[in-house]
């Protein structure tokens, strides 16, 4: 198993995941914009937030790819379908714990169900499975994470 293959799969997987979410946004299936959500934690400037968010999203994608690689090593096996299982767990984690518990704790511009009317506009909290961003959001997000995991698993298992 190759760490280089994992990083390559993670890059392609993140590109596919990001493109799927962006396309779903353009098709009005979801309002989620993960790069903007990430970047706006560091700057209120919308343009800078998007640019920084894409950089952060690809960096995080590489870190998750290394995590997948570690799991594959621990199991002694990698495949596209096992990557999809990891992607399912990753997508469920992202849609529940990450965006509803961890992100609101550190994001200075995100509201929570306990937030009162603030002096500055806050981002809408994503809600369970990110449903506040549209009914199709959980489906699109899970499909994108399944593709991400499959690409990493396939990349590792096909590497010499």
DSSP notation for 20-40: HHHHHHHTTS----HHHHHHT
pLDDT tens-digit profile, the chain (160 residues): 899 999 999 999 999 999 999 999 999 999 999 899 899 989 989 899 999 999 999 999 999 999 999 999 999 999 999 999 999 999 999 999 888 787 777 787 887 666 654 555 567 888 888 999 999 999 999 999 999 999 999 999 998 8
Distances (CA, A) of 147 to 38, 52, 108, 113, 150: 21, 24, 31, 31, 5
Instruction: Pinpoint the alpha helices (H) of 27-134.
Output: 34-39, 46-75, 80-93, 103-106
Residue-number span of the structural domain to which 40 is assigned: 3-158
Number of domains in the chain: 1
pTM: 0.90
């Amino acid at each position: 198993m190759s760490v280089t293959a994992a990083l390559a799969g993670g890059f392609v997987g993140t590109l596919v995941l990001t493109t799927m979410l962006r396309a779903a946004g353009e098709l009005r299936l979801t309002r989620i914009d993960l790069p903007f959500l990430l970047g706006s934690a560091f700057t209120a400037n919308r343009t800078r937030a998007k640019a920084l968010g894409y950089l952060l999203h690809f960096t995080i994608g590489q870190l998750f790819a290394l995590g997948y690689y570690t799991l594959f090593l621990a199991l002694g096996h990698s495949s596209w379908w096992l990557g999809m299982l990891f992607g399912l767990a990753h997508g469920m984690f992202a849609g529940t714990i990450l965006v509803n518990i961890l992100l609101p704790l550190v994001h200075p511009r995100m509201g929570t169900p306990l937030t009162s009317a603030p002096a500055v506009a806050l981002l809408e909290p994503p809600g369970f499975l990110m449903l506040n961003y549209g009914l199709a959001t959980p489906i699109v997000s899970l499909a994108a994470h399944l593709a991400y995991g499959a690409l990493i698993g396939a990349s590792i298992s096909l590497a010499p």
